[in-house]
Homo-oligomer: A and B are copies of this chain.
Amino acid sequence: MGAQSNSHLRPKVAVDAVVLSFAQREFQTYLVRPRAAAARGKWACPGGLVAVGETLDDAARRELRASGLANEPYLEQLFTFGNPSRDPAAHVISVAYLALVAAPVRSSSPTKKYFEGSWFRVSALPALAYDHALMVRRGIARVQAKLGYTNIACNLLPESFCFSELEALYSGVLGRVLDRRNFRRRIMAMGILRPAPGVRRGNHRPAQLYRFLKRDLQTVQIL
C-alpha cells in the first residue's frame, strides 16, 4: 500500500513527561526503566508514541497512567525535541510535557511496559536514555521560572499546607533563605491564599494551614 511504502520516510511522534515533585528541599523526578531495547539499562522519563486521533495531552496522560504514577498530575507542554539523532534507532520527535505532583509517591505495580518506576533526587540522577537529561533540566528551569510569576506552586504542594512549607519550596528553588516576615507579607498581600481549617502539628507551636484560592494557573508577580 502506498501510504505504508513512504511512511517510513516520516518521523514518528512521541510524548515524554518530566514528572517533578518537591520534597526534602529539592526537586524529585519520577523515572522508569523501559523494557524496550533502545533504552535498555538506562532510566527514562515515562513516554511513548502518539496514536492517530489522540490529542497530545491525552497521550501524555495515557503514558503517565501506564507508568505506575499514583495521582493525576498537573500537565503542561514543555518543549518538542526533534533532533534526528536523539534516538539512534529512528527519527522520533518527542513532545515533552511537564508533569507536577504534590508528593513523590508511586503506585504499587510495575507494568508490562516498564521493569520499574522510581523517584530520584534531581541532583543525583542515574544515566538517562535518549536526551532525557536535557528534558529534565528544561523542566526544572520552567518550574523555577514560573514559580516567580504564577501560582504554579499549588501543584507542588498538598491541598492545604502551612506557611513554612510554602516558604521551604521557594527558598529551596531559589537557593537562598527568605525572610519569613517579608515572604508572608508579600504572599498575603496578593490574596491568592485563604486559611484552611486545621493546623500542622509537631514539636512546636501549631501552624495555621492555608490553601490556594484558585488552583488553575494564573499569573501573579510573586518574586
A→B interface (CB under 8 Å): 1, 3-4, 7-13, 49-56, 59, 77, 79-80, 82-84, 91, 93, 95
Contact partner of A11 among B13, B79, B82, B83, CB < 8 A? B13
A59 to B3, CA, bound (A): 13
| Contact present for B8 and A49 (CB under 8 Å) | no
Copies in the complex: 2
| Contact present for B82 and A95 (CB under 8 Å) | yes
**Chain B residue with minimal CB distance to A8?**
B3
Contact partner of A50 among B1, B51, B93, CB < 8 A? B93
Q: From residue A36, how far is it (CB to closest CB) to chain B in Å?
A: 9
Q: Cβ of A7: which chain B residues have Cβ within 8 Å of it?
A: 4, 7-8, 10
Can you list 22 A-B contacts with CB-CB less than 8 angstroms, sorted by A residue number?
Answer: A3-B49, A4-B7, A4-B8, A7-B7, A7-B8, A7-B10, A9-B51, A10-B10, A10-B12, A10-B50, A10-B52, A11-B13, A11-B50, A11-B52, A13-B82, A53-B91, A55-B82, A55-B84, A56-B82, A77-B80, A82-B95, A93-B95
| Contact present for B49 and A93 (CB under 8 Å) | no
Q: Cβ of A51: which chain B residues have Cβ within 8 Å of it?
A: 3, 9-11
**Chain B residue with minimal CB distance to A148?**
B149
